């Protein structure tokens, strides 16, 4: 929309404001008025129709002044709206919904504080390339720029943290704008998009036709890889002695898990994953080496350090994964498949860049390969590493409760397709390390932004997208849980069958671990001994609360919490001194992961 | 598991970091595998990047926001409409390493409002405009220098003379040096704008300039275009 168009709309909207007190504006001559045959159509009802034609069923949001027309139209539709306690949670819920469903999650907020409260959730979705569509109310166009009540420059604020955003200044095209936002959120590399909806635009009547859902003409992500690049990748892999596949979040986003499994087993190449890709390859498969990075497994970090050919798929080489770039996969020829050309050679130089869709490209490279690399020695080396560096922990029988034990207990008590969401901190790392993930879209966590408080709202979003019989377990830390604990009210109101496991050590545990390791144990502002009794708190919200103090109580309580049909919260009083290992020091070499604090 | 050997800091089993084999190879700061003997610092160079964008409010702020967020070192930026309705061209001069320039181009191309991005070679046609306000004590000499640089006098009064010079960056720099003797009061430089020379498109695949929307009468369109031009000029 040009500024010209916006001004025009603002002019028209002043007229339509006047019209509200009198008769509605006449239909422009010569244009069919579909609205005449039924109820009159407003910008807001077109927005809702655009949501319906995009296949949306569930939305997450919070009411407010400037978004009221959209809610009014929503109330007349069959769409399910989940009122959240805070807009940040609406964005996280939409994000988690998008991860589990594979289609964009939708969040709504009003102007000003409503929109700014979405910011953390949108930034989180942006870092993790999750498809989210945010709709925000805005003050009427003739007030925009005047510092009106609850006005914020929402498109300005969210520009750096959205894939695209729009100021929808025109009632006649607002449906197409919402449609475009949907198309862009999921096409190519997914990401969050936002449409800012001025109140006069959603209130005004329009005779616009069916909303379209198209990306801009020049937005054409290259899905089919270049044949020469595919051939070069195949030749490089055929001659590899120590090949390793590094699957990134793009494998999940691109639904490329089947192709990854076929490729890795067909060509006998071990698979490591980044944290967002957990579940893309079954972790109980003998070709799996686990997760690479700061808290990744020993075998994965050894394999990435010693491989001679690294096939990275849909991976952006985040610093938590690479450690120091100078020591990352130092001997490897890197083949990098990504649908986003800007990711290739951004952080780690790719000798063989392949732009394309993850699944299609893997399949093409597989077909192009004439032989499978001989990896007997390499396979033996990897299985040695698996024996040398098992994921384990010390658990004395008389207590205290070990967090890893809690994670394992939940894993054992749930089905393979159970969904795990987490907040951010030590508990998140224990969850990813000690749960055996075998299915894509079952690990829902905040990776790039590292947003504490993500777990509970994500569980709400995941619950909405999951199959009815799929279990949803959220691991939270005491500090992380407190950041969005108010969303328990939503889980109770909606009677959502989710189980929150609070791994409570009365610390901002990861900060405490770093303070002990790098700041001489100066535990400033990381001790949370003022934490509430979470079981009582859960009951105050109307949820089912449990407290666990001893390892003996874990199995039964896990069972009882999972059996409860509704939200339950288990407050696990865990060993407060337990730390997360293995650990690669920030900026350090992956191959030098520490197994205890004295190795840091 | 036994409780005897378990202390809170016991950690995990396995060889310690220094007991493990470590490869000799390494990469540089840009993730490029390097010869450890020859690790030269990547040198910066100046590049002219041309971006064809949709002429919409907010595009310039997206582009400048992208450059500041990603810490690309920007020397100058010019923007203006093209002959195609709804298109504008942003010309950026950046001083970066090859890696930085590549990233700047790719990240720029990712913005949904950016249509095409190209980097211009040394052969490109480049120009900059500068306005110089100097002391008017020696008008004849000022006039002579202005002539020498094929400039124009825009304003001349008893105390100040304002001249306009256009040309490539070196010519502008030289002209500014030459005017310094009179005492420069103020300078306004536009920054470089540029087009590829000859038949080469400035951004890859760029169509020769024309309106994409067919209109009934060229003359009227020109008039309308002039109107739109004024009302939509945005500075953001």
Give the one of B57, B102, B112 whose C-beta lies nearest to A216's C-beta.
B112
Q: Print pLDDT tens along chain B (236 aa).
A: 433 444 445 689 999 999 999 999 999 988 999 876 666 677 899 999 999 999 988 899 999 999 999 999 899 999 999 999 999 999 999 999 999 999 999 999 999 899 999 999 999 999 999 999 999 999 999 999 999 999 999 999 999 999 999 999 899 999 999 999 999 999 999 999 999 999 899 999 887 765 454 444 333 333 333 333 333 333 33
CA distance A593 to chain B (A): 6
> Would you say residue A18 has pLDDT above 50?
no
Tokens representing B167? 């040309």
CA distance B128 to chain A (A): 28
Write down the pLDDT at residue B2: 39
Residues 6+ apart with CB under 8 A from A366: A259, A262, A263, A266, A267
Residues 6+ apart with CB under 8 A from B58: A155, A156, A159, A167, B113, B236
Give the one of A160, A325, A398 whose C-beta lies nearest to B65's C-beta.
A160
Write down the pLDDT at residue B119: 96
Tokens representing A371? 């032989």
Each residue of A408-442: pLDDT tens digit?
999 999 999 999 999 999 999 999 999 999 999 99
Which candidate, B233, B171, B191, B205, places its Cα nearest to that of B91? B191
The overall average pLDDT reported for chain A is: 93
| Angle, CA B112 vertex, CA B109 and CA B114 arms, to 5° | 50
What does the DSSP 8-state code read for residue B208?
P
Query: Would you call A199 a catalytic residue per the annotation?
Result: yes
- Contact of A26 with chain B, judged by CB distance below 8 Å, is answered with no
Going from the C-alpha of A219 to that of each of A187, A189, B88, the distances in angstroms are 9, 11, 17
| Active-site residue identified among A510, A513, A515, A578 | A510
Write down the pLDDT at residue A64: 98
Give the one of A4, A331, A389 whose C-beta lies nearest to B25's C-beta.
A331
Give the one of B12, B69, B231 whose C-beta lies nearest to A160's C-beta.
B69
**B11/A575 CB distance under 8 A:** no
CA distance A291 to chain B (A): 17
**B23/A305 CB distance under 8 A:** yes
Query: Would you call A471 a catalytic residue per the annotation?
Result: no
Query: Would you call A578 a catalytic residue per the annotation?
Result: no
Give the one of B27, B54, B112 whose C-beta lies nearest to A184's C-beta.
B112
A68 burial level (CB within 10 Å; 0-12, 13-18, 19+)? middle
Write down the pLDDT at residue B105: 96
**B232/A591 CB distance under 8 A:** no
| Active-site residue identified among A149, A210, A388, A597 | A149
Query: Would you call A87 a catalytic residue per the annotation?
Result: yes
Going from the C-alpha of B126 to that of each of A368, B105, B115, the distances in angstroms are 46, 19, 21
Give the one of B2, B16, B107 whose C-beta lies nearest to A342's C-beta.
B107
Write down the pLDDT at residue B58: 85
**A330/B103 CB distance under 8 A:** no
Residues 6+ apart with CB under 8 A from B68: none
Mutant choice from B3, B15, B20 vs A, greatest count of A C-beta within 10 A = B20
Q: Do A473 and A419 form a contact (C-beta atoms < 8 A)?
A: yes
Hey, which residues does A273 pair with through a beta bridge? A247, A291
- Contact of A142 with chain B, judged by CB distance below 8 Å, is answered with no
Residues 6+ apart with CB under 8 A from A334: A310, A312, A348, A349, A350, A351, A352
Q: How far apart are CA A91 and CA A108, in angstroms?
A: 8
More confident site: A24 or A336: A336
Phi and psi, residue A9, nearest 5°: -65, -40
DSSP readout, A104-123? -EEEEE-TTHHHHHHHHHHH
CA distance A259 to chain B (A): 27
The rounded radius of gyration (Å) of the Cα atoms in chain B is 27
Going from the C-alpha of B223 to that of each of A134, A310, B55, B56, B150, the distances in angstroms are 40, 59, 18, 20, 32
- Identify the band that residue A40 occupies on the pLDDT scale cut at 50, 70 and 90: confident
CA distance B233 to chain A (A): 9
**B28/A594 CB distance under 8 A:** no
ipTM of the complex: 0.86
Write down the pLDDT at residue A80: 98
> Would you say residue A173 has pLDDT above 80?
yes
**A331/B56 CB distance under 8 A:** no
Hey, which residues does B167 pair with through a beta bridge? B128
Q: Do A305 and B22 form a contact (C-beta atoms < 8 A)?
A: yes
Write down the pLDDT at residue B209: 65
- Average pLDDT on A36-63 reads 91
Lowest mean pLDDT among A54-63, A358-367, A455-464, B20-29: B20-29
Give the one of A342, A581, A598 whose C-beta lies nearest to B106's C-beta.
A342
Q: Do A335 and A236 form a contact (C-beta atoms < 8 A)?
A: yes
More confident site: A562 or B233: A562
The rounded radius of gyration (Å) of the Cα atoms in chain A is 25
Q: Do A229 and A352 form a contact (C-beta atoms < 8 A)?
A: yes
| Active-site residue identified among A8, A150, A470, A486 | A150
Q: Which residues of A515-539 are buried (b: 16+ CB within 10 A; e: fewer)?
A: bbbeeeeeeeebebeebeebbebbe
Q: Which of residues 118-177 of B touch A (CB under 8 A)?
A: none
- Contact of A505 with chain B, judged by CB distance below 8 Å, is answered with no
* Closest CA in chain A for residue B117: A218
Q: Residues of A with CB below 8 A from B30's CB?
A: 325, 345, 349
- Contact of B13 with chain A, judged by CB distance below 8 Å, is answered with yes
CA distance B189 to chain A (A): 27
Q: Do A433 and A402 form a contact (C-beta atoms < 8 A)?
A: no
Q: How far apart are CA A144 and CA A167, in angstroms?
A: 11
- Contact of B27 with chain A, judged by CB distance below 8 Å, is answered with yes
Query: Would you call A527 a catalytic residue per the annotation?
Result: no
Write down the pLDDT at residue B42: 79
Q: How far apart are CA B236 and CA B230, in angstroms?
A: 15
Q: Residues of B with CB below 8 A from A156's CB?
A: 58, 61
Q: How far apart are CA A257 and CA A264, in angstroms?
A: 10
Each residue of A179-213: pLDDT tens digit?
999 999 999 999 999 999 999 999 999 999 999 99
Q: How far apart are CA A420 and CA A490, in angstroms?
A: 19
Q: How far apart are CA A497 and CA A467, in angstroms?
A: 12
CA distance B63 to chain A (A): 10
Q: Which of residues 343-362 of A touch B (CB under 8 A)?
A: 345-349, 351
Write down the pLDDT at residue B210: 56
Give the one of A330, A396, A579 whose C-beta lies nearest to B25's C-beta.
A330
| Active-site residue identified among A163, A199, A386, A402 | A199
CA distance B191 to chain A (A): 25
First CA to last CA across chain B, in angstroms?
66
Lowest mean pLDDT among A464-473, A569-578, B23-32: B23-32
Q: Which of residues 186-225 of B touch A (CB under 8 A)?
A: none
Write down the pLDDT at residue B226: 38
CA A296, chain centre distance (Å): 19
| Angle, CA A244 vertex, CA A239 and CA A245 arms, to 5° | 115
**A578/B65 CB distance under 8 A:** no
Write down the pLDDT at residue A6: 37
First CA to last CA across chain A, in angstroms?
54
* Closest CA in chain A for residue B3: A396
Each residue of A281-306: pLDDT tens digit?
999 999 999 999 999 999 999 999 99
> Would you say residue A216 has pLDDT above 80?
yes
> Would you say residue A74 has pLDDT above 70?
yes
3 state SS of A512: helix
Q: Which of residues 288-327 of A touch B (CB under 8 A)?
A: 298, 302, 305-306, 317, 322, 325-327
- Contact of B19 with chain A, judged by CB distance below 8 Å, is answered with no
């Amino acid at each position: 929309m040009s500024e010209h168009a916006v001004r025009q709309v603002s002019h028209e909207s002043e007229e339509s404001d006047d019209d509200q007190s009198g008769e509605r504006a006449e239909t422009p001559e010569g244009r069919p008025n579909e609205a005449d045959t039924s109820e009159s159509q407003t910008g807001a009802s077109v927005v809702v129709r655009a949501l319906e034609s995009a296949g949306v069923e569930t939305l997450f949001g919070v009411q407010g002044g400037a978004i009221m027309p959209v809610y009014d139209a929503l109330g007349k539709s069959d769409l399910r709206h989940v009122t959240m306690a805070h807009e940040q949670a609406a964005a996280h819920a939409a994000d988690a919904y998008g991860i589990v469903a594979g289609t964009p999650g939708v969040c709504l907020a009003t102007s000003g504080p409503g929109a700014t409260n979405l910011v953390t959730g949108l930034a989180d979705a942006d870092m993790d390339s999750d498809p989210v569509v945010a709709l925000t109310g805005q003050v009427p166009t003739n007030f925009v720029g005047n510092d009106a009540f609850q006005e914020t420059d929402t498109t300005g604020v969210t520009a750096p943290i959205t894939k695209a955003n729009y100021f929808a200044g025109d009632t006649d095209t607002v449906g197409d704008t919402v449609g475009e936002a949907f198309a862009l959120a999921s096409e190519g590399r997914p990401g969050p998009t936002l449409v800012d909806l001025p109140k006069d635009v959603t209130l005004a009547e329009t005779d616009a036709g069916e909303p379209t859902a198209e990306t801009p003409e020049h937005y054409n992500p290259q899905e089919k890889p270049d044949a020469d690049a595919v051939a070069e990748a195949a030749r490089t892999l055929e001659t590899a002695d120590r090949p390793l596949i590094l699957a990134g979040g793009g494998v999940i986003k691109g639904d490329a898990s089947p192709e990854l499994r076929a490729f890795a087993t067909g060509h006998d190449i071990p698979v490591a994953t980044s944290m967002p890709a957990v579940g893309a390859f079954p972790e109980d498969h003998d070709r799996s080496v686990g997760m690479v990075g700061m808290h990744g497994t020993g075998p994965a970090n050894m394999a990435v350090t010693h491989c001679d050919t690294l096939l990275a798929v849909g991976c952006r080489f985040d610093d938590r994964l690479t450690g120091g770039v100078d020591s990352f996969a130092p001997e490897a020829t890197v083949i990098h498949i990504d649908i986003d050309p800007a990711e290739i050679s951004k952080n780690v130089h790719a000798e063989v860049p392949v732009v394309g869709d993850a699944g299609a490209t893997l399949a093409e490279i597989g077909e192009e390969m004439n032989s499978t690399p001989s990896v007997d020695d390499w396979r033996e080396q990897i299985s040695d590493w698996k024996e040398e560096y098992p994921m384990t922990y010390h658990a004395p029988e008389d207590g205290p409760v070990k967090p890893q034990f809690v994670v394992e207990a939940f894993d054992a008590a749930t089905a393979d397709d159970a969904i795990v969401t987490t907040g951010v901190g030590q508990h998140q790392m224990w969850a990813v390390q000690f749960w055996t993930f075998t299915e894509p879209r079952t690990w829902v966590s905040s990776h790039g932004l590292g947003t504490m408080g993500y777990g509970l709202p994500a569980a709400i979003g995941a619950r909405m997208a999951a199959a009815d019989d799929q279990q949803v377990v959220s691991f939270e830390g005491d500090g992380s849980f407190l950041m969005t604990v108010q969303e328990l009210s939503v889980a109770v109101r909606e009677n959502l069958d989710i189980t929150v496991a609070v791994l409570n050590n009365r610390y901002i545990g990861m900060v405490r671990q770093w303070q002990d390791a790098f700041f001489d144990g100066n535990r400033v502002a990381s001790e949370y001994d003022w934490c509430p009794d979470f079981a009582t708190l859960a009951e105050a919200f109307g949820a089912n609360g449990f407290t666990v103090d001893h390892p003996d109580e874990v199995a039964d309580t896990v069972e009882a919490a999972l059996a409860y049909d509704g939200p339950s919260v288990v407050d696990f009083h865990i060993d407060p001194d337990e730390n997360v290992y293995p650990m690669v020091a920030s900026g350090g070499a992956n191959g030098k992961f520490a197994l205890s604090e004295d190795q840091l | 598991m036994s409780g005897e050997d378990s202390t809170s800091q016991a950690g995990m089993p396995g060889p310690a970091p220094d007991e493990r084999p470590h490869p000799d190879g390494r990469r540089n700061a840009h993730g490029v595998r390097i010869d450890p003997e020859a690790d030269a610092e990547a040198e910066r160079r100046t590049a002219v990047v041309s971006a064809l964008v949709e002429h919409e409010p907010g595009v310039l702020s997206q582009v400048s926001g992208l450059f500041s967020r990603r810490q690309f070192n920007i020397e100058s930026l010019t923007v203006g409409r093209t002959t195609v309705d709804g298109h504008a061209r942003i010309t950026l001069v950046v001083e970066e390493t090859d890696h930085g320039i590549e990233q700047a181009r790719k990240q720029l191309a990712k913005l949904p409002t950016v249509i095409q991005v190209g980097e211009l070679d040394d052969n490109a046609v480049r120009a900059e405009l500068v306005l110089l306000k100097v002391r008017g004590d020696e008008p004849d000499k000022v006039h002579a220098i202005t002539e020498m640089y094929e400039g124009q006098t825009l304003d001349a009064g008893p105390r100040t003379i304002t001249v306009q010079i256009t040309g490539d960056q070196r010519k502008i720099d030289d002209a500014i040096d030459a005017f310094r003797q009179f005492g420069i009061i103020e300078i306004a430089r536009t920054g470089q704008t540029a087009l590829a020379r000859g038949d080469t498109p400035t951004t890859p695949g760029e169509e020769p300039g024309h309106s994409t929307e067919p209109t009934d009468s060229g003359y009227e369109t020109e008039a309308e275009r002039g109107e739109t031009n004024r009302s939509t000029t945005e500075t953001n």
